[in-house]
Structure 1
Amino acid sequence: MKYFSTNRHLAGGYIPTHTFSEALLMGIAPDAGLFMPETLPHFSAEQLQTMRGKTYAQIATEVLFPFVEGQMSKDDLAAIAADAYGFDIPLENIDKNFWVARLDQGATASFKDFAARFMARATRYFLPAQQKLTVLVATSGDTGSAIGAAFQGIEGVKVYILYPQREVSFVQEQQLIRIGGNVQALAIDGKFDDCQNIVKQAFADKELTSLNLSSANSINVGRVLPQAVYYFYLWQKLTEHTDEAINFVVPSGNLGNSLGAELARRMGLPVERLVIATNANRAVPDFLKNGIYKKISPSVAAVSNAMNVGNPSNLARYFELYGGTLDKDGYTHQAPDIAQMREHLLSVAISDTETVETIKYFYKKYACVLEPHGAVGAAAYRKFQDKLAARKTILLETAHPAKFPEIVMQELGFAPPVPKALQAFLQNPAHKIELANEYKALKNILLA
């Protein structure tokens, strides 16, 4: 399978296609486009049926093999998946036809662990001996620690994590600055979109070519594809028949998580509706409502801080899938099929007030503890309940409540218990470098 740039149709667009390993290690196309597979595999009802009862690692092997076939044997992929996925996804039944999937059981208590752990192992597999790789990561909260933990200790790889200093929780920052080794945390005096823009400038800087830059954000196709796997896994765990379609509600920032569901649907998974739940950064719901995309700049700070994204990168991939073209700056060159998007996608923006009220409501009514991002999704489910109730619906809870103890304590009166993996993480020495909100500050670090 080959991978192309979403900007290939633009003037000066990048036309060559690449293998999975090339796209993975490049991170982003030279024209700042995002890599996409030329085709998507399709899983028949019979193939979906064979996934029932399999482990997460086994399903990951089946789903991901078509994307790496010809470059990696199925046995090698199975070994990578088995090494990456030693944890499950608990499903918590909340009400009739409504479940919460706890994607917080990994090393850093975030859904990002699923993609990060596969990506790090695939990078180690494909990185040529003696070749160095510099990985740049912009994070709004959880991506950085998941990537840092996954890449820690991998020979030949140096990781720099850029995060908005005042827009991550205390626990999130402690995770970021306590990885150490080949992973360096950079606290940026700005917002997540600033961090992301600085990273994109680095990729466009020809003076950094010798550093062999790559990205581990969801702009990297090696991050997005593994996120399709848990939709297959959750579907087979909850359904009884191969033609049974279900709904997914996904708290969304940069749209990599929800894109996994969109890809899974196009690969044959019976998905009825996908709900993209955002916080006050409402660019996506506004776009689906009026058909005109306008990024939110600057992004709005919300209690669901990991979703403070005003110009989601993966919207370019949604545009691509629906016949449009969107560049990195949020400019629409070709409008997608908005009618088709509305047929499959629902989206709504949730305020901080609604987020907090939902945390309290779900605990009082269901004894269910949600953190702010999960609460955004739960609030969205309630708004669309009339459109979703006829089918089983799964809300993806994206982080462990212990990563946000302040708001849980404030609203529920107790601090959630800290998972053992998170406790161990927080015992490491802390180190960070504070940088001004400007590209040259990062460039100086990289060239030092």
Structure 2
Amino acid sequence: MKLYNLKNHNEQVSFETAIKLGLGQQQGLFFPVKIPNFTPFELSEILKMDFTTRSTEILSKFIGDEISKKKLYKNIKKAFSFQKPLKVDITKNISCFELFHGPTLAFKDFGARFMAQMIFSLKKENESFTILTATSGDTGAAVAHAFYKMKNIRVIILYPKGKISLLQEQLFCTLGKNIITISINGSFDDCQDLVKTAFDDKKLKESIGLNSANSINISRLLAQICYYFEAFSLISESQRKNLVIAVPCGNFGNLTAGLLAKSLGLPIKSFIACTNENDTVPRFLKSKQWKPKKTISTISNAMDISQPNNWPRIEELFRRNNWNLNNLRFGSVSDQSTKEAIKELFKLGYTSEPHAAIAYRLLSNQLKKDEYGLFLGTAHPSKFKDTVEKILKNNIALPNEIKCRVNLPLLSHNINPDFNTLKKFLLEK
């Protein structure tokens, strides 16, 4: 598999190199040189397969013979060794596709665990890495648990202090061992900027074997394609004809994966790019002007991102496929409307958290009579227990994954959003 740097098309690397580098020169994102696709017959055949076998077929279509199917299957089986996604019907023509049944109760488990398995299986015996990543909530836990106790791999996770839920924090800031967490006195965008600056420092990269586990890493992105095929396999023939998928968007990796699934041949009619009040992309799609505003804190904190990293990949995919960006549906939802959507879903018999509720609100507003809609459930509602309980005035039980970590001490360090301070930390720890 060959990938090119979106900022410098002359920089082309293998899949293995792209995984290890994370970012290319000038902080450029890697993108496949060839975008494969399935014939209608191949598509009908893989939809009959089990999740692991199908995922192997999908990912091997991108990776090619760089990694054998046998080795790929083995890594995918280890990575996706948890309950498959579930489809839960909400109304006659709307369902939630729940992606939060992994070890950290969020959709990020798919990409993070696949990336961890690939890095570990491809690295040389004595080779060591430092994984540096930023999180707005769920990525941190998924990456931490995916790499926990892996030999010669150190993980450093940056997150905005006071801007993720306590339960999210407890999931990954209580592990210790090879997992180091740092709260940053700033926003998620500050955390993301620190990661990008670290990757621009060549000496630092080389001295600590720097890599990133954000959705900027192509391995995480490719893994997420697989569950869109799973969603398609779970719906009826009639529902497949006019399928619309509403995606809660933060860094836009999840939507990028869905669009790659469509590019592969999955006949999804339309996507809705769903954001909270950090609405850089919806405003851009309206005005064609890219004008990020200062990030604001909302109850859907994983989407509190004003400069989404993956948007250039989406633009490239539309350009390569000759798709029209005007056909991408979009919308943003205020905190008040998010709360109302959570209440509405509860009346329909479904307990949701804020991110999925945003996707539901926009889907229910935009879905046409002849269409069938899926909105992605990206995190278990218990991860936002205080917020959801306050809105619904109803108790939410904690799953064992969280319950076992609630009383453990937080092991985080704290620094200001200053790169020199972070660099010193990375070199000394």
Scaled by the length of structure 2, what TM-score is found? 0.96
Residue 34 of structure 1, CA deviation: 0.2
Whole-angstrom distance in 2 between the partners of 1:47 and 1:322: 24
Residue 36 of structure 1, CA deviation: 0.5
- Give deviations 1:92-151, integer Å, cap 9, x for gaps: 101122110111100000000011111100111111221111111100000011001001
Give the corresponding residue for 1:438: 418
**Are the equivalent residues in 2 in contact too, given 1:185–1:432 (CA < 8 A)?**
yes
* Corresponding residue SS for 1:48: helix
Gaps of 5+ in 1: 10-14, 325-335
Identity score, percent? 34
The answer to whether the aligner puts 1:383 opposite 2:365 as a matched pair is yes
Residue 53 of structure 1, CA deviation: 3.9
Match of 1:370 among 322, 332, 352: 352
| Number of aligned residues | 426
Whole-angstrom distance in 2 between the partners of 1:70 and 1:54: 21
Whole-angstrom distance in 2 between the partners of 1:243 and 1:430: 46
Match of 1:55 among 50, 55, 67: 50
Aligned AA (1:281): N
Give the corresponding residue for 1:329: none
The equivalences for 1:309-348 within 5 A come to 309-323=305-319, 340-343=324-327, 345-348=328-331
Scaled by the length of structure 1, what TM-score is found? 0.92
The equivalences for 1:40-439 within 5 A come to 40-85=35-80, 86-208=82-204, 209-240=206-237, 244-296=241-293, 298-323=294-319, 340-343=324-327, 345-364=328-347, 366-386=348-368, 389-426=369-406, 428-439=408-419
Instruction: Tell which deviates more after alignment, 169-178 or 195-204.
Output: 169-178
The answer to whether the aligner puts 1:32 opposite 2:27 as a matched pair is yes
Residue 428 of structure 1, CA deviation: 4.9
Instruction: Tell which deviates more after alignment, 352-361 or 231-240.
Output: 231-240
**Are the equivalent residues in 1 in contact too, given 2:232–2:240 (CA < 8 A)?**
no
Whole-angstrom distance in 2 between the partners of 1:128 and 1:245: 47
Aligned AA (2:54): I
Whole-angstrom distance in 1 between the partners of 2:358 and 2:238: 30
* Corresponding residue SS for 1:101: strand
Whole-angstrom distance in 2 between the partners of 1:205 and 1:411: 45
Give the corresponding residue for 1:3: 3
Indicate how the Cα distance of structure 1 residues 428 and 126 shifts in structure 2: closer, same or farther if over 3 A, else same. Answer: farther
Gaps of 5+ in 2: none
- Give deviations 1:151-181, integer Å, cap 9, x for gaps: 1111111100000012101101111211221
- Give deviations 1:206-265, integer Å, cap 9, x for gaps: 230211111000011111111111101110111327973411100000000011111111
Indicate how the Cα distance of structure 1 residues 393 and 242 shifts in structure 2: closer, same or farther if over 3 A, else same. Answer: closer
Aligned AA (2:19): L
Residue 415 of structure 1, CA deviation: 2.7
